[in-house]
Structure 1
Amino acid sequence: MTAGPRGHGRYGEDVFRPGQPHEDERIDCGALAYDDITLARLRSLGAGPGWRCLDVGAGTGTVSRRLLDEAGVTSVLAVDRDVRFLTERPVPGLDVLEADITAPDFAPGRFRLVHARFVLMHLPERERLITALAGLVEPGGVLVLGDAVDLTSDRAPGTPYTVVMRAMWQGLRETIGTDVSWVPSYPRLLRGAGLVRVAAEMHVPPLLPGSPISRFWADTWERSRAAMLATGLVDDAAVDAAVRYLDSDECAALSAGLLTVWGRKPEEAHR
């Protein structure tokens, strides 16, 4: 994989470094906001006993572990560029692989479920990667992708939250290459990768004082503050005001949505 637009590191690591203090807590706040929705969708698609699963960009492993504990899948291969949070919390049935999914030789096998959430939005060559991930799905299996959709359009109210979110998206795009503008094209890309029964849904967690998603954004802004300030759209005072706004009863804004898209590998592909 190539670096970001200004030569920065892969997967957003120059901003969201795994070695930063409390980075696992930030990731877990995102998990608390989105995991229930993700697990409900994976189970509705059939994830259960006998399934061998691949969890791409597994982070702290919350989805991987819940697939084992709640869905009862047979095994999960959790893949990440940095696996320190995964190896700290081992459980039976969970295998861990430190790898770069953009590498041409990334071929860990075939799986009944291939899942990636908040990964591809940070990477270039997205169409190639979706095709590659679809190639890891066994016949009859399912590919499930989830990424963020920005809901701070030009017509959204100009709240402290909206101002800072716009600066965040621009700052991340200019530094590490994050781009969520293409995420609504997921259904078309999955169809183009040969998958069928493609469908999608979106979840927007409520921004409430002290909620996991509010804590997630506050921590994310702190880690990406330099990139946000570099855009010229905000200053430190604006970022601080947005953090206070998130934790107040005045907050009236839409968090970024999680767009989840899935498709199945045709059974006849093996004949």
Structure 2
Amino acid sequence: MTTASPGDDVPDGGRYGETVFRPEQAGEGERIDFGALAYDDITLARLRALGVGPGWRCLDVGAGTGTVSRRLLDEAGVASVLAVDRDVRFLAERPVPGLDVREADITAPGSVPGRFHLVHARFVLMHLPEREHLIARLAGLVEPGGVLVLSDAVDLTTDRTPTTPYTAVMRAMWQGLRATIGTDISWVPSYPHLLRAAGLLPVAAEVHVPPLVPGSPISRFWADTWERSRAAMLATGLVDTRAVDEAIRYLASDACAALSAGMLTCWGHQPAGRR
């Protein structure tokens, strides 16, 4: 996944993929794929509903293991996909015709050449500083008549949500990741406004919340994510290691009664007359 650029906005704990969620750590590709299993069908359905298909040139930012990139080629029949990530080891493992891989930091000026009919980024911007500036930059990569599609996490847990092993650890995770690598989902509901401010018209958004069913991909994704961010959670003082272990067991049990963090997807069109 593409992460933040060096500079004053980078937290002391480093960037995504360094202190937490390191790609060289055993099983990290599998963790990413659990998330893909939970969300890819929703993502592909939305992209196809937006008209993505034959002849389209696509940019997939923070492409991870490349599941969306490959499905765009295999199922939507697009002409090409440029998959960009700061670390491309998972993308390079499974090359396919039409898929170009570029190791680059999307926050660096000029890191991606050209313009595209589709620019897509999922679970990327939530980990980055200077988000409004970056949204404007991504919008500038969209061909007139094309579309920018951004997806990130939203958490439906509120102050009135009953405290359970799940809610306690999820709250600690968001706080720990924000302190460690700068992850911030609080601004994600403002996507429609930010895309409109970037000159895209019309814009719209939707939210998908996958069910937390024992053994499901999303439940396994969260359990694995908590394991890998355990140190960041413990540093908050909100939970101890026993609480994390209890939450992982809770996810795998029939006693689990919780709402997963969801995925907000927002899209905006580059006006056809713009050059």
SS at match of 1:250: coil
* Aligned residue number for residue 127 of structure 1: 132
* Aligned residue number for residue 219 of structure 1: 224
SS at match of 1:10: coil
Match for 1:153: what amino acid?
T
* Aligned residue number for residue 257 of structure 2: 252
* Alpha-carbon distance, 1:92 to partner: 0.5
Mapped to 2, the partners of 1:190 and 1:131 lie a distance apart of 8
Match for 1:236: what amino acid?
T
2:159 matches 1:154:
yes
Mapped to 2, the partners of 1:6 and 1:176 lie a distance apart of 5
- Structure 1 unaligned regions, length at least 5: none
TM-score by length of 1: 0.98
* Alpha-carbon distance, 1:12 to partner: 4.6
* Alpha-carbon distance, 1:75 to partner: 0.3
Q: Using the TM superposition, name which of 1-10 and 55-64 deviates more.
A: 1-10
2:89 matches 1:108:
no
1:174-211: CA deviation from partner (whole Å, max 9, x where unpaired): 00000000000000000000000100000000000000
1:76-105: CA deviation from partner (whole Å, max 9, x where unpaired): 000000000000000000000000001122
- Structure 2 unaligned regions, length at least 5: none
Does the 8 Å CA contact 2:63/2:84 hold for their aligned counterparts?
yes
Does the 8 Å CA contact 2:13/2:179 hold for their aligned counterparts?
no
* Aligned residue number for residue 84 of structure 1: 89
SS at match of 1:108: coil
* Aligned residue number for residue 166 of structure 1: 171
* Aligned residue number for residue 208 of structure 1: 213
Equivalent positions of 1:50-89 (< 5 A) are 50-89=55-94
Identity among equivalent pairs (%): 80
Does the 8 Å CA contact 1:4/1:175 hold for their aligned counterparts?
no
Does the 8 Å CA contact 2:10/2:129 hold for their aligned counterparts?
no
* Structure 1 counterpart of 2:266, from 261, 265, 271: 261
* Aligned residue number for residue 229 of structure 1: 234
Mapped to 1, the partners of 2:72 and 2:28 lie a distance apart of 23
Mapped to 1, the partners of 2:138 and 2:110 lie a distance apart of 12
Match for 1:218: what amino acid?
A
2:147 matches 1:142:
yes
Mapped to 1, the partners of 2:13 and 2:185 lie a distance apart of 18
RMSD of aligned residue pairs (Cα, Å): 1.0
Does the 8 Å CA contact 2:127/2:182 hold for their aligned counterparts?
yes
Residues 265 and 6 of structure 1, relative CA distance in 2, 3 Å threshold = closer
Mapped to 2, the partners of 1:258 and 1:17 lie a distance apart of 22
Match for 1:105: what amino acid?
G
TM-score by length of 2: 0.96
Q: How many residues in Structure 1 have an aligned counterpart in Structure 2?
A: 270
Residues 156 and 12 of structure 1, relative CA distance in 2, 3 Å threshold = farther
